[in-house]
Amino acid sequence: MIFEREVKIGKRLQQLQSLVTEPYDHIWDCCCDHGLLGAALLRQHPESHIHFVDVVPALIDALNERLSQHFADRTHRWQTLCMDAGALPLNDYPGKHLVIIAGVGGDLMMDMVARLQDANPEKELDFLLCPVHHQYALRTLLISRGFKLKEEVLVEENRRFYEIMLVTTHQNTHQPYADISPVGSRLWLTVDQVQPDNRKRYLTQTLAHYERIQRGKPDDVQPILHAYQQVNLS
Ligand SMILES: C[S@@+](CC[C@H](N)C(=O)[O-])C[C@H]1O[C@@H](n2cnc3c(N)ncnc32)[C@H](O)[C@@H]1O
> What is the tens place of the pLDDT at every residue in 21-58?
999 999 999 999 999 999 999 999 999 999 999 999 99
> Taken in order 146, 169, 55, 153, is the CA torsion positive or negative?
positive
Q: Please give the distance, rounded to the nearest whole angstrom, from the Cα atom of residue 105 to the centre of ligand 1.
A: 9
**Mean pLDDT, residues 108-112:** 98
Q: 203 near 188, Cβ under 8 Å?
A: yes
Domain boundaries, the chain: 11-186, 189-234
Strand residue runs (E) in 44-95:
49-54, 77-82
Banded pLDDT at 219 (limits 50, 70, 90): confident
Residue 103 beta carbon below 6 angstroms from any ligand 1 atom: yes
**What type of residue sits at position 60?**
I
Residue 6 has what pLDDT? 45
> What is the tens place of the pLDDT at every residue in 67-96?
999 998 878 899 999 999 999 999 999 999
Which protein residue's CA is at the shortest distance from atom 8 of ligand 1? 103
For residues 140, 149, 185, 208, the Cα torsion angle rounded to the nearest 10 degrees is -40
Q: Rounded mean pLDDT of the chain?
A: 92
Domain 11-186 has CATH 3.40.50.150: yes
Residue 54 beta carbon below 6 angstroms from any ligand 1 atom: yes
Kindly tell me if the per-residue pLDDT of 190 is higher than 70. no
Residue 82 beta carbon below 6 angstroms from any ligand 1 atom: no
